[in-house]
Structure 1
Amino acid sequence: MSNSSDDELKCWLKSALKGENLVDFTVSRLGNTEKGEGYMGDIVFVEVSAETSDRLPKIYNLVLKCSKRSPALRESMPVQAVFENEMHFYENVIPAFTEFQKKRGVSEVFNSVPKYYGSYVAEDMEVEVFENLTTKGYYLCDRRVPLPTNNLKLILREYGKLHAISAAMQDQEPEQFKLLIDEIRNVWKMFADKHDMETYYGAPIDEVHELLKTSLPETTAEKLKKFKTQINSIIKDVIEDPKTFSVIGHGDCWNNNFMFQLKNKTDENSLKVAILDWQTTKFANPITDVSYFIYACASKEDLEHFDELINIYYNSFSGYVKLLGSNPEKIFPFDQFIKDFKLFGKYGILITLLAIKVALCNKEEAPDFAETINTGFENTFSFKNKNQELLKSRMLYIINHVATQDIL
């Protein structure tokens, strides 16, 4: 999106900032993301110097999330749908969730998302505008390493609250909740209907199996090799036919989609998180978020305390459901949560195999969807990761863990 003109930027911002009551503004472009940071969109950082309707100056530090314009890409990928999904989440889901919580007397509502200003939509272009959180001291952790323990536990608690709102709203306001989920685009199904998922997700499985086959117990290595045969059934169970309790979930739980702020550097309890990228938000079993997040972001030491991690999530979920006036034991009891992990944990490990491969790749080898159109998206992740030893060490403890949990 580096080739977008200043006039285009101003046009997009005029649409997105219409609720700010600005008389006029100027735009300064501050930078763009690099290759590998976005697959169906690009990021532009800008500073807006504005004048309000009451003639007061105002400065905005903003992030523009812009879809790719490539006709071939938009034909092959659900580009428009993923942007519409995220717009729906910010424009409808978050306001409805906030109102629901406030009506039940919750003073500190779930708000672990960046501020959203608005959007611009045209026939071949979608743009979303957010507050630039780096100006408030938010930071990204290194995507090549697992999250620190405190950050990991914080997100599990926030996911618990997020999923609890869905649970309580379904219980108490089912018709209102149905209006929200009816507008969620099933982008996973759109993608799966057009592409060979066994090849797309199979490449990371093949690479990890080749790396680990002599380091794993023989039975575990064989299970990993055969995991490819489950790809289509895993995706079908998750995106086409959810059989159990479902919630509006995040959907993209790798560590590059969380920004953190430590308000008081001497007090770890002041840590806050903003959860980014809701384009693949979906109505699915909450374990699709929890398992993906834990496997993709936990260190070996934290994964050794797996029971503690899932208890942190479930205690947050059940406590918030109760706070909102519903009964978690009736909606999603802990024994059902554990039982469901056996099935939906498979989804978490499938996505993690791809997510860690991407997280550990160097910038020059990062795939670009726009460049893989001619060779087929199925081969997007067939490249061999250059950081083989790092990939091996990360995946070894994960595969050993899921084998002991009987998830492979």
Structure 2
Amino acid sequence: MHIYEEVLPAFQEFQKQRNIQDKFASYPKCYKCLKLYKKDVIVLENLKAQGYELHNKLECFNLAHTRKVLQQYAKLHALSFALKDQRPDFFASLVDGSIDSLLDYLKKPRFQQAITESCENGVKILMKYGDDKLADKYDKITIDGVDKLKQIYEEKYDQKVINHGDCWNNNFMFRYEVRNTNSMIT
């Protein structure tokens, strides 16, 4: 809710003030945020009505999808860096209102187990495809992976920015000119 009510409007205003031509606007309009008893409700624009589709979670991104996502992330992160550089106190107030949900998840045993299993599966996949040397390197760097991630997220870095934070292939929507994944519009 903080992102839709505070951060994104601040980013839009900053872009407007700086006369940015190719604006970051890759998110649905937010009509209403409500805090109810034990529930938060966010009412968003229906992008499916505009022809957007969720990416199939069972399919890897192709090059066109990857490029589109990285282009939008580059805009978001550049905007975040610029705001942080040019209005540091205001940026700090936006960050202070944010909840680091990944850090919260990293403290949950089920999430810790899922990360550990993902790392173990990565090693198995590399070994399956005969890349024992890379599997061994990956295995070594993922030992205590959850603790390492928590440490990274708890440290204060000048390079930290506000980001999407939930990057996986079924959490993006695309609109196509024709139903061919290489002819995306947005």
Name the CA distance, whole Å, in 2 between partners of 1:212 and 1:171.
41
CA deviations 1:289-342 (Å, max 9, x no partner) are xxxxxxxxxxxxxxxxxxxxxxxxxxxxxxxxxxxxxxxxxxxxxxxxxxxxxx
1:113 counterpart (27, 31, 50): 27
Q: Is the 8 A contact 2:5 2:33 kept in 1?
A: no
2:86 counterpart (162, 172, 177): 172
Partner of 2:106: 192
Name the CA distance, whole Å, in 1 between partners of 2:111 and 2:34.
32
Structure 1 residue 114, shift from structure 2 partner: 0.9
Partner of 1:201: 115
| SS class of match (1:126) | strand
Partner of 1:158: 72
Question: What is the TM-score normalised by the length of structure 2?
Answer: 0.86
Change in 2 beyond 3 A, CA 1:221/1:152: closer
Partner of 1:250: 164
Long gaps (5+) in structure 2 = none
Question: What is the TM-score normalised by the length of structure 1?
Answer: 0.42
Higher strand share: 1
1:225-374 to 2 correspondences below 5 Å = 225-262=139-176, 264-265=177-178, 271-272=185-186
Change in 2 beyond 3 A, CA 1:108/1:214: closer
- Percent sequence identity is 33
Change in 2 beyond 3 A, CA 1:214/1:183: same
| SS class of match (2:174) | strand
Highest relative contact order (Cα 8 Å, sep 6+), 1 or 2?
Answer: 2
Which has the greater radius of gyration?
1
Partner of 2:17: 103
Structure 1 residue 160, shift from structure 2 partner: 0.7
Structure 1 residue 124, shift from structure 2 partner: 1.2
Tell me if 1:88 matches 2:2. Answer: yes
Name the CA distance, whole Å, in 2 between partners of 1:95 and 1:269.
30
Long gaps (5+) in structure 1 = 1-86, 273-408
Change in 2 beyond 3 A, CA 1:244/1:108: closer
| SS class of match (1:271) | coil
Name the CA distance, whole Å, in 2 between partners of 1:122 and 1:236.
30
Q: How many residues align?
A: 184
RMSD between aligned residues:
2.4
